Structure 1
Amino acid sequence: MSHYLLIFSITIGMVFSFGESAECAPQQRVRFKDIVYPDISVKKNISYFPDSRDDVKEKYYLLDFYEPAGDTSTLRPLIIWIHGGGFKFGKKTSRGIPLWSKEFAQKGYVCAAINYRLSKKNPLSKRADLVSACSDAMEDVRKVIDFFRKNSTQYRIDLSKIILAGNSAGGITALQSVYSNPELLEYPNQAESNPPANPKANPDNVVAIINFWGAFLNINWLKNAEVPIVSVHGDKDKIVPPDNPEKGLFGSIVIHREADKLQIPNQIKIYRGFAHELQKGFNPLWVSRAVKKRWSEAGEFAAAFLYDQLFG
Structure 2
Amino acid sequence: MAVIALFLIFTGCHTTKKISIDSSQLSNSDYYSGVIDNGKKLFVKINNYGNNSTGEFCVTSDKPITKLHEFSANNNGKIFKVRTDIKGRFSKLKGVATLSNDTLSLIWFNKLFSRKKYKEITLIKESKLDLSNFSQRYLNEVFHKFNLTTLKYGKADGYYTSKLFPVVNESNYGKIMLQVGKGIIGNLLQSEQTLDLDLYEPKDDTLSKRPLIVLFHGGSFLIGDKKAETMVALGEYFSKMGYVVASVNYRLGYLILPEHYEYMERSMYRALQDGRAALRYLCANSGKFRIDTNKIIVGGTSAGGFTALNIAFLEEKERFTGTFGNVFRLQSDLGCINCSTNDYKNIFSIKGVVNMWGALTDINQFDLYEKIPILSFHGTADNIVPIGYNFPFNSLSQEITSFFAKKVYGSKEIHKRAESFGLKNKLIEIEGAGHEPQIDENSRFTSVIDTIKNVSKDFIFDLISTDNGGIKGDTLVNKKSNISEYSIPHQNGYRYVWTASGGIVADINKTGNQAKVVWFENAENHSIRLSVINNLGAVVTKNIVINLQQ
TM-score band w.r.t. shorter chain: 0.7 to 0.9
Distance 2:443 2:301 in 1: 15
Cα offset, 1:96, TM superposition: 0.7
Find the counterpart in structure 2 of residue 9 from structure 1: none
Q: Is residue 2:394 matched to residue 1:252? A: no
Matches within 5 A, 1:4-15: none
Compared CA separation, residues 135 and 288, structure 1 to 2 (3 A): same
Distance 1:308 1:276 in 2: 28
Compared CA separation, residues 124 and 34, structure 1 to 2 (3 A): farther
5+ long unaligned stretches in structure 2: 1-131, 162-191, 323-336, 339-346, 392-405, 467-550
Cα offset, 1:182, TM superposition: 5.4
Find the counterpart in structure 1 of residue 312 from structure 2: 178
Cα offset, 1:221, TM superposition: 1.5
Distance 1:125 1:177 in 2: 26
Aligned length: 267
Given candidates 30, 36, 39, the residue that maps to 2:136 is: 30
In 2, are the aligned partners of 1:124 and 1:130 still within 8 Å (CA)? no
Find the counterpart in structure 1 of residue 228 from structure 2: 94
5+ long unaligned stretches in structure 1: 1-25, 189-199
Find the counterpart in structure 1 of residue 264 from structure 2: 130
- Give, as a single letter, the amino acid of the residue that structure 2 aligns with 1:238: N
Q: Which structure has more RCO (C-alpha within 8 Å, separation ≥ 6)?
A: 1
Distance 1:240 1:47 in 2: 30
Q: Secondary structure at the match of 1:138?
A: helix
In 2, are the aligned partners of 1:29 and 1:36 still within 8 Å (CA)? no
- Give, as a single letter, the amino acid of the residue that structure 1 aligns with 2:305: G
Compared CA separation, residues 52 and 288, structure 1 to 2 (3 A): closer
Find the counterpart in structure 2 of residue 309 from structure 1: 463
Cα offset, 1:125, TM superposition: 8.8
Q: Which has the larger radius of gyration?
A: 2
Cα offset, 1:142, TM superposition: 1.3
In 2, are the aligned partners of 1:218 and 1:248 still within 8 Å (CA)? no
Matches within 5 A, 1:68-79: 68-79=202-213
Find the counterpart in structure 2 of residue 47 from structure 1: 152
Distance 1:219 1:187 in 2: 15
Find the counterpart in structure 1 of residue 449 from structure 2: 295
Cα offset, 1:204, TM superposition: 2.8
For residues 23-79 of structure 1, give each alpha carbon's deviation from its aligned partner in whole angstroms, at most 9, with x where no partner exists. Answer: xxx9x85222222212111112x1011x658x9799550111101111111111111
Q: Secondary structure at the match of 1:298?
A: helix
Higher helix share: 1
Find the counterpart in structure 1 of residue 384 from structure 2: 239
Find the counterpart in structure 2 of residue 227 from structure 1: 372
Find the counterpart in structure 1 of residue 218 from structure 2: 84
RMSD (CA atoms): 2.9
In 2, are the aligned partners of 1:86 and 1:124 still within 8 Å (CA)? no
Higher strand share: 2
For residues 191-211 of structure 1, give each alpha carbon's deviation from its aligned partner in whole angstroms, at most 9, with x where no partner exists. Answer: xxxxxxxxx99x631111110
Q: Secondary structure at the match of 2:268?
A: helix
Distance 2:258 2:429 in 1: 24
Distance 2:389 2:259 in 1: 17
In 1, are the aligned partners of 2:254 and 2:263 still within 8 Å (CA)? no
Matches within 5 A, 1:191-206: 204-206=348-350
- Give, as a single letter, the amino acid of the residue that structure 1 aligns with 2:431: R
Distance 1:277 1:70 in 2: 34
> What is the TM-score of this pair, normalised by structure 1?
0.77
In 2, are the aligned partners of 1:100 and 1:296 still within 8 Å (CA)? no
For residues 215-244 of structure 1, give each alpha carbon's deviation from its aligned partner in whole angstroms, at most 9, with x where no partner exists. Answer: 011111111511011111111101111123
Answer with 272-281 or 228-237: which moved more: 272-281
- Give, as a single letter, the amino acid of the residue that structure 1 aligns with 2:460: L
Compared CA separation, residues 172 and 221, structure 1 to 2 (3 A): same
Q: Secondary structure at the match of 2:218?
A: coil
Q: Is residue 2:265 matched to residue 1:152? A: no
Indicate the percent of aligned positions where both proteins have the same amino acid. 29
Answer with 166-175 or 176-185: which moved more: 176-185
Q: Secondary structure at the match of 1:65?
A: strand
Compared CA separation, residues 123 and 158, structure 1 to 2 (3 A): farther
- Give, as a single letter, the amino acid of the residue that structure 1 aligns with 2:205: D
Compared CA separation, residues 95 and 130, structure 1 to 2 (3 A): farther
Find the counterpart in structure 2 of residue 6 from structure 1: none
For residues 232-291 of structure 1, give each alpha carbon's deviation from its aligned partner in whole angstroms, at most 9, with x where no partner exists. Answer: 11111011111233552111111111101111211111111110011698x5xx41232x
Spell out structure 1 runs of 4+ moving beyond 4 A: 55-60, 123-126
In 2, are the aligned partners of 1:209 and 1:228 still within 8 Å (CA)? yes
